[in-house]
Structure 1
Amino acid sequence: MSTYRFDKLLAPRSVALVGAVAREGSLGRSVLDSLRRAGFPGAILPVQPDHDSVDGLPCVPRVADLTMVPDLVLIAVPPPSVPEVVAQAAAIGAGAAVILTARLGRGPEDPGPVAHRIARAQGLRLLGPDSAGLAVPGAKLDASLFAHAPAAGDLALVSQSGTVAAAIVEWAARHGTGFSAVLSLGSVLDIGVADCLDYFAADYRTRAILLCLDRVADARRFMSAARAAARAKPVVVLRAGRHRPDTRAAVTHTGALARPDAVYAAAFRRAGLLAVQDLDGMFSAVEALGRQRPFPGDRLAILTNGRGIGLLAADRLTERAGILAQIPEIEGRAAGNPIDLGIDAGGPAFSAALEPLLADRASDAVLAIHVPTVRSDAGAVAGAIADTVKRARAGQTRKKPVFAVSLGDAEAARAAFAQAGIPHFTTDSEAIEGFLHLVRYREAQDDLMRTPDSLPRDFSPDMARARSIIAAALRQGAAWLDPIAVNGLLEAYGIPTVPITLAPDQDAAAAAAWPIIAAGGTVALKVVSPDVVHKSDIGGVHLDLTSEADVREAARSILARARRERPDARVTGFAVQPMVRRGQRRELIAGLAEDAVFGPVVVFGRGGTAVEVIDDRALGLPPLDLALARDLIGRTRVARRLEGYRDVPPADIGAIALTLVKLSQLAADLPQVRELDINPLLADETGVLALDARVRIGRAERGRHGRGHPRFAIRPYPAEWVRTLKLKDRTIRVRPVRPEDEGLFLAFFKGLDPEDLRLRFFGPVREFSHAFLARLTQLDYARAIAFVATEVDPQGGERMLGAVRLHADANHESGEYAIAVGRDARGTGLAFALMRLMIDWARSEGIGRVEGMVLAENRPMLAVCRRLGFTQGRDPEDPGLVKVKLELGGSQAGFGTIS
């Protein structure tokens, strides 16, 4: 339900408190005290059957007896009574309820699920149960169990844990940091993390979002909401329970490497969230984000009155992969960083050194560290720094960020920095972390906006062959593909493999080996068993065999050891392959694993038999493009070996990245593939070669809510919406937009005349920036679609003729469209066809309404809208605009597909 009725939750005009009692220390009394302490201006309506009044406020015995319909209902009653209270609140039309009561159970007939079913049927939103409440300081609403009312500010805090939320609120109270809202989600029945991300991403009062969680229930909703929020503003996430024991029974190397904590980290990274490891990290983020907006650049200048403390800060910055600015000689001061002013430096010395640093372009931010001494007062130094920063900001267009550390932590220093809006920390380590939070956020935004390379045109997987291989194995009841099937599957996706022959016994193995040996090669012999995943564990791999006799002896040895160590294992034969000389090739691992929360995960790292001990790996959520694949490679230690060294040439990084993209596509196309392990994947300057691989399969699960792959956390490219149109003797291809289409859009817009651009964008357009084009081409297919129409140009490439896009709101109730068609495609019916396709997509997604704004003078577009059944009405605030709207409804038939 996303943000539905969040206005009643976060901006209520009246609040009912069910379970209000006068007894000190009771749940109801604690919340009532919080409400009154904050000065809530609306009506407070206590509900209590045993008293006529509570703390001077008149009571009614039941919610149903209220003479005023409350926007928000706070529930603090015993668990068995909660469903009835929820039913009464829903019946009288309340908008939202916070269940403070704990231990409502998870069984179908327990109070929690029963209350949820009642609320959902009536549209009543629920926060909790086991919630520590919520606070909206700007509305003077504190319906929480926090010790202190949060101060007003522009940070939104959303926490599954009430104690973690309370700890952050307490820290913020001591440091003068404020919040736009604080929500304790508790044991979520209805309102969850994704709903809150959707709301606060669009909330103009919120500049950054702080997220504390230990689990994600719906990965697809979470990832969609998180990616949308992170594009709008910084989102910092702290996850508790990262090192819980891993109870999975992973059987492949990739499965073992894809531990839940690593998968969560990969998901946060993909969504553009800033992950912190502990409360100290969260506090650093709160301080930095509470006072400083993200900024361009990553070079830090360190100014201090002590060389040792400055070097410690520089060491910390370097260890965390930060950039120490190269500071030139400034006004007679020697070049170097950190800048040491000497132990006796006071306010004037700090001010004199800081002023030119703020104007200098050799750094992007300054960290000022002061260690108090008997000759250097913390408050005076802080005041001097604050005054210098304020003077510089008053006169500079670019306001360079300043971070401060006062190890004395005097109250006067804290007040001076807070008044000047300077993030203030008690240690150099905290300050470095705060600086890096803002740097990493800017880097994440840049990553989100990167345009990936185009995939090679010859990458067209043989899906029919791949699906046939999987189907045949499943019909036989197999859980693992045999080696021939594995090779066939990889070949279908263009991943080079080593030829393989299956032999049922030792004589057949020797016969299969003979042609290789006769040609001067040597042979690798491997056991084939559906019950043995890691062949080397039972000595099931023999290498460099040079004769038929060697092959027979190796086969006998494998069988004997298998019977001894794994008597239950079924040995169905042997795999015979020519030996591949590794030479200067690097051993890598690449594959797919399955996470219980986020579904398929792409795994990459250093390969070999000790892969799990080395633990050099990086994870990524599919779908991947080439930019994401290169980023995945770059996050491993083995990436440095791939660059080349001494007489070893660099490996073909492009071929490795393309292999990861191919595996990502395989995961999208074949939900039956549960784990895939290529180990080793050999790589050198000539490309890659899959030397050994295994694939676990299973029946495809029933799909989640929504279209697309049933287990993907991120909606993959919707290839099923590709269409071919025959319009006025022209063959036009229409497909969903891809991230690499940025150049196509730029060429299209440059080809439009100024009048076309004005009709499309409601005003003159002089420049199309990378950021602007990236937002048009990099879509979350769970929330938006854009169809681009192209035809083949004389050089054999694509030429864009037009595009239509639709972006759904957070509640998936309505979508806003936009369309542009080039002049050379006018009169072909393309605009009508694109609009029909967009409407079909909206219906398939369950979107109930399509809306748009059209210039009143754009008569051709208005005519198309009339043909499609849109209603039209002038915008009361701008008579030059016409608002068009089409009600779709869930049961109406679509316009049909276009072929």
Structure 2
Amino acid sequence: MSVRNLQHLFAPRSVAIIGASARPNSVGATVLRNVIEGGFTGAVYPVNPKYDTLSGLPVYARVSALPAAPDLAIICTPPATVPGLVRQLGEAGTRAAIILTAGLSALHDSQGRTLRQAALDAARPYTLRLLGPNCVGLLVPGIGLNASFAHTGALPGKIAFVSQSGALVTGVLDWAKSRGIGFSKFISLGDSADIDFGDLLDYLASDPHTSAILLYMEDVRHARKFMSAARAAARSKPTLVLKAGRVAEGAKAAASHTGALAGSDDVYDAAIRRAGMLRVLTTEDLFAAVATLAHARPLFGERLVILTNGGGPGVMATDAVVSGKGSMAQLAPDTVARLDAVLPSTWSGANPVDIIGDAPAQRYVDALNIVLQDPQADAILFIHAPTAIVPSADIARAIAPLAKASSRNILACWLGGDAVAEARAIFTEAGIPSFGTPEEAVSAYLQIVQYRRNQNLLMQVPPAACDDAVADGAADPTSARALVRAALAAGRTLLSEPETKAVLAAYGVAVVQTRSTASVEEAMAAACEIGFPVALKILSPDITHKSDMGGVALDLEDADAVRAVAQRMNKRLAELQPQARLEGFSVQQMARRPEAHELIIGVATDPVFGPVILFGQGGIAVEVTADHAVALPPLNVVLARDLISRTRVARLLAGYRNRPPANMDAIIATLMRISHMVADLPELVELDINPLLVDSDGALALDARMRVAIAGQSASTLDRLAIRPYPHELEERIDWQGAPLLLRPIQPEDGPAHVSFFNALSDDDVRYRMFVRVRELNASQLARFTQIDYDREMAFIATRPGPDGVNETLGVARVVCDPDNVAAEFAVTVRSDLKGQGLGRALMEKLIAYCRSRGTREIVGEALPQNTRITKLARKLGFEISKAAEDGSVHMRLPL
């Protein structure tokens, strides 16, 4: 991703409006009026050869006539003029432009390019960033910039809103203004020819004026870029998504159940969860959620206690918790006893804690204080219905200090209108989220819970190969690759059931013994060798679901039964589908597991996010039950367990009545082995294991099919995965100062060690690294340093166990590549007390070797002139050193 020159978009000192006009209701006139009336204090340059003045400002005939290059240009001229104007602006020195004009993708220039592409080509030599085309523009209320043709402005605030829909931009502006909601940035993406979600998320993640990011999303085009930026943003501030298009357009044609089930919206949902963001379903939920999350405290559990003065609202809230798959806390016996001592004998005696409608203020305080000390109470929902006995405001004043001081999350529901208005205002002033109904309050609580779960997923960075899952030595990837490539060499994209099972077995997945046979006689012989009873299935590349054609027979007890069934299958296939090719039969051992659950595990390839893994309830009615969940690979134990938990069948797997729990470790191991297969086999397009039989003894794949395709040249570099796995292969142990040291890529869990590393740096070393004096790392900076995508950014740390046994970071070398992998900018920092001992050189040599391996053409860096250590090291490593005349900074360049 790139935030290059985006500062000119969001903090311009001057703005040119190209196509400014006096014509009523035109875009040019509207934009000019909005820029002037918005309160922008910088220079404003209207450009149009038809006017001399507009709104009291001098008008310039062309870009070349401007008195200075504008920081930001707004283009609202006909499509054919746009590429030329972009080129002129780039030549003049402008580095950011907003293209409001629509229709650039439908029209072509004399070279056959779309005007959209022509504009991009014109901007590229100057790194001129383009917002749009076909957008409403942007607003930065903090500097009075309304660079849009929206019908109203925006209030200043701390929320950034990014939308792909122009219509939603104007609607939300109106809606938010009427409710007093303000924004730090309000951005219409339009067609996202250049600047897209990834760029904006990366910029907003480090924007000090933004405390939360809201996205209205219709689609994503660059999955890895989006996921990398989204994960970095979500690590530092609440990031919420309203995704349109939740209703499936219909099952696509696919060679497997998985291909049909893994719908686009399921995949987007999985991506949003994995990125640590929170998805909401309505615009109102979007803003309600950000208000709730802004006040949310760390949530260390999910059990909720409801404290209320009315039984009915408590029951309503409980219903909402249970139906929303939340957890109600079970009060500890000691808590119940203490409540007995302060509450009337008619109190509910359990959760919800109904303290009765005549409760004075002190009863509320006593009950809340006791509940807050219960170890089961991870969060509290306080519900109050107004009474004539005690004013609601008195109750609010009594318990607000206790609620504000608590480390637990406390949400409030003040039922009613005018009677509770003052009480609600008291709680709001204290920073305690308040709601009008129990259902709204529970919904907000569940959003906090889901956000916590998603943040946990965000921390997971599994490797491509799951060592624990294949440590038993069962994996043989070489034979699996040979099977796949042999099928492709023969012109086949669909592997037979026996071939698919052989691939699965090569990755350690337990499969039932299966033989592939070409004739009835071979099937009989194979059955005798395997041992009766057996199952018989037809082998045909033209039949997707064999059971629909009568192509599956179970519990065949002898060779005669095999012969009779095989002949019937042959005849039935000829009658029902004469064009289908019958290549033989598969014979498999019957699996006697009467208490096993039928599950499905599969792989599908999404056109945007690449391979996805599906898990759910299996069997022949899999499309009807529609009980499945989707996740992005790679998986580890935490991610696999989360995937399982999102299905209804997970509750059955936990056991019930006399049926013992299923072997969850076996399911998790199977999922991780499939994840390993996805990362290892770039040819894999679709996979179905259905059914996967799972009981208390383990997991066994009964039926399976796989579709493959010739992989692209970049597939071996894992480019097809939306999330690049942790590059375990880049870890290296070296000998440093007579002791072992590990050089490895940084991980999110290195956050605490990175803070300690930063705190151990001298003021000068911090200034040399950041070019400014920084006292401490804030959350967004820490996320930026530790949450990387291992693709266009890499950071190697030198680490070893510290005196307390906890790993410590001794140094870090970081490199960020441009989108075209031409140049990579580096930085290296060594703990201040360890300088001059060769650690910086070891890290730089590691970094240089990495850049060479990925084909980067050159490594560049900037340093302050006082930082002589880095320039000396760079010169020893072969860098060319030069100084900038303007500020004396040192430029370092190493051609590769």
Do they superpose with TM above 0.5? yes
1:37 and 1:473 mapped to 2: Cα distance?
Answer: 67
Contact 1:801 1:821 in 2 (8 A): no
Instruction: Check the 8 A contact 2:414/2:420 in 1, yes or no.
Output: no
User: 2:173 matched to which residue of 1?
Assistant: 169
Equivalent position of 2:15 in the other structure: 15
Contact kept in structure 1, 2:734 and 2:743, CA below 8 Å: yes
Report Cα offsets for 1:414-457 as digits up to 9, x if no partner.
Answer: 86665554445444433332333233323332343469896153
Which residue of structure 2 aligns with residue 766 of structure 1? none
The answer to whether the Cα contact below 8 Å between 1:371 and 1:408 also exists between their aligned partners in 2 is no
Counterparts in 2 of 1:869 and 1:458: CA distance versus 1, 3 Å: farther
After superposition, the C-alpha distances for 1:699-723 in whole angstroms (9 at most, x for unaligned) are 102438xx82131111124355466
Identity of aligned residues (%): 42
- Contact kept in structure 2, 1:676 and 1:696, CA below 8 Å: yes
Q: Secondary structure at the match of 1:473?
A: helix
CA drift at 1:138: 1.2
Query: Is this contact kept in 2: 1:73–1:98, CA < 8 A?
Result: yes
1:160–1:185: 8 Å Cα contact kept in structure 2?
Answer: yes
Residue identity opposite 2:893 in structure 1: E
Aligned partner of 1:651 in structure 2 is 662
TM-superposed CA distance for 1:845, in Å, is 6.7
Structure-2 change in CA distance of 1:63 and 1:357 (3 Å):
farther
1:58: how far off?
2.2
Aligned ranges for residues 852-871 of structure 1 at < 5 Å? 867-869=876-878
Structure-2 change in CA distance of 1:477 and 1:115 (3 Å): same
How far does the alpha carbon of each residue in 1:492-523 deviate from its partner, in whole angstroms, 9 at most, with x for none? Answer: 11112222222211122112222344xxx212
Whole-Å Cα distance in 2 between the matches of residues 822 and 657 of structure 1? 45
Is the CA contact (8 Å cut-off) linking 1:389 and 1:420 kept in structure 2? no
The structure-2 alpha-carbon separation of the partners of 1:196 and 1:376, relative to structure 1 and needing over 3 Å to count, comes to farther
Q: CA–CA distance in 1 between the matches of 2:308 and 2:33? A: 46
How far did 1:561 drift?
Answer: 1.1
Partner in structure 1 of residue 287 of structure 2: 283
Give the structure 1 partner of residue 373 of structure 2: 361
The aligned residue for residue 677 of structure 1 is 688
What CA distance in whole angstroms lies between the structure 2 residues aligned with 1:623 and 1:112?
36
The match for 1:429 is: 439
User: Residues 79 and 102 of structure 1 are in contact (CA less than 8 Å); yes or no, is this contact kept in structure 2?
Assistant: yes
**What's the CA shift for 1:189?**
0.7
| Unpaired segments ≥5 residues, structure 2 | 768-779, 884-888
Aligned residue for 1:526, secondary structure, equals strand
Residues 784 and 806 of structure 1 are in contact (CA less than 8 Å); yes or no, is this contact kept in structure 2?
Answer: no
1:867-882 → structure 2 map (5 Å cutoff): 867-869=876-878
1:248 corresponds to: 252
State the secondary structure of the residue aligned to 1:624: coil
2:46 aligned residue:
46
Q: Is the 8 A contact 1:158 1:184 kept in 2?
A: yes
Residues 231-630 of structure 1 mapped to structure 2, 5 A cutoff: 231-246=235-250, 248-289=252-293, 298-300=302-304, 302=306, 306-324=310-328, 326=331, 329=339, 331-332=342-343, 334=347, 338=352, 353=364, 357=368, 360-362=372-374, 363=377, 366-367=380-381, 381=392, 387=397, 391=401, 396=405, 398=407, 401-405=410-414, 407-408=416-417, 419-449=429-459, 455-456=468-469, 457-459=471-473, 461-517=475-531, 521-630=532-641
The residue that corresponds to 1:715 in the other structure is 724
Deviation at 1:822, TM superposition (A): 13
1:288 deviates by 2.2
Whether the aligned pair in 1 keeps the contact of 2:386 and 2:420 (CA below 8 Å) is: no
Give the direction of change, closer, same or farther, for the CA distance of 1:351–1:2 in structure 2 (3 Å limit): farther
The letter of the residue matching 1:619 is V
User: Does the 8 Å CA contact 2:538/2:584 hold for their aligned counterparts?
Assistant: yes
- Cα offset for 1:22? 2.6
SS across alignment from 1:156: strand
Question: Which aligned pairs between 1:693-842 and structure 2 lie closer than 5 A?
Answer: 693-703=704-714, 708-718=717-727, 721=730, 780-785=789-794, 805-808=812-815, 813-818=824-829, 832-842=841-851
Secondary structure in 2 aligned to 1:194?
Answer: helix
Partner of 1:639: 650
Supply the distance in 2 between the matched residues of 1:670 and 1:451 (Cα, whole angstroms).
20
Is 1:119 equivalent to 2:123 in the alignment?
yes
Q: Find the residue that maps to 2:721 and give its secondary structure.
A: coil
CA RMSD of aligned residues (A): 4.4
- 2:208 aligned partner: 204
1:404 touches 1:422 (CA, 8 Å); kept in 2?
Answer: no
- Deviation track 1:550-576 (CA, whole Å, cap 9, x = no partner) reads 111111111111111121111111112
User: The residue matched to 2:717 in structure 1 has which SS?
Assistant: coil
When residues 9 and 295 of structure 1 are mapped into structure 2, their CA distance, relative to the original with a 3 A threshold, is: farther
Displacement of 1:321: 2.8
Structure 1: runs of 5+ lacking an equivalent: 763-770, 792-797, 875-882, 894-899
Aligned residue for 2:776? none
SS in 2 for 1:584: coil
TM-score normalised to the size of structure 1?
Answer: 0.83
* Structure 1 residue 247, shift from structure 2 partner: 6.1
Distance (whole Å) between structure 2 residues aligned to residue 822 and residue 442 of structure 1: 38
Tell me if structure 2 keeps the 8 A contact 1:171–1:283.
Answer: no
**Does the 8 Å CA contact 1:735/1:787 hold for their aligned counterparts?**
yes
Q: CA deviation at 1:322?
A: 3.0
- Distance of 1:411 and 1:59 partners within structure 2: 56
Deviation at 1:401, TM superposition (A): 4.4
Q: Which amino acid in structure 1 is aligned with residue 721 of structure 2?
A: F
In the TM superposition, residue 245 of structure 1 has moved relative to its aligned partner by 0.7
Report the alpha carbon displacement of residue 369 of structure 1 after superposing the two structures with TM.
5.0
Could you report, residue by residue, the CA deviation over 1:158-202 in whole angstroms, capped at 9, with x for unpaired residues? 111122233333332233222111111011111100001001111
In structure 2, what is the Cα distance between the partners aligned to 1:181 and 1:455? 45
Distance 2:456 2:317 in 1: 26
Identify the range of structure 1 (74-83 vs 306-315) with the bigger mean alpha-carbon deviation: 306-315
Structure 2 counterpart of 1:98:
98
On the 8 A contact 2:762/2:832 being kept in 1, the answer is: no
Q: How many Å apart are 1:302 and its aligned residue?
A: 4.6
Distance 2:296 2:31 in 1: 33
The superposition leaves residues 109-136 of structure 1 with CA deviations (integer Å, 9 ceiling, x where unpaired) of 3332222221223211111122121111
Higher mean displacement: 425-434 or 581-590: 425-434
Q: Answer yes or no: is 1:142 the counterpart of 2:143.
A: no
C-alpha change, 1:587 and 1:138, in structure 2 (3 Å) is same
Structure 1 partner of 2:86: 86
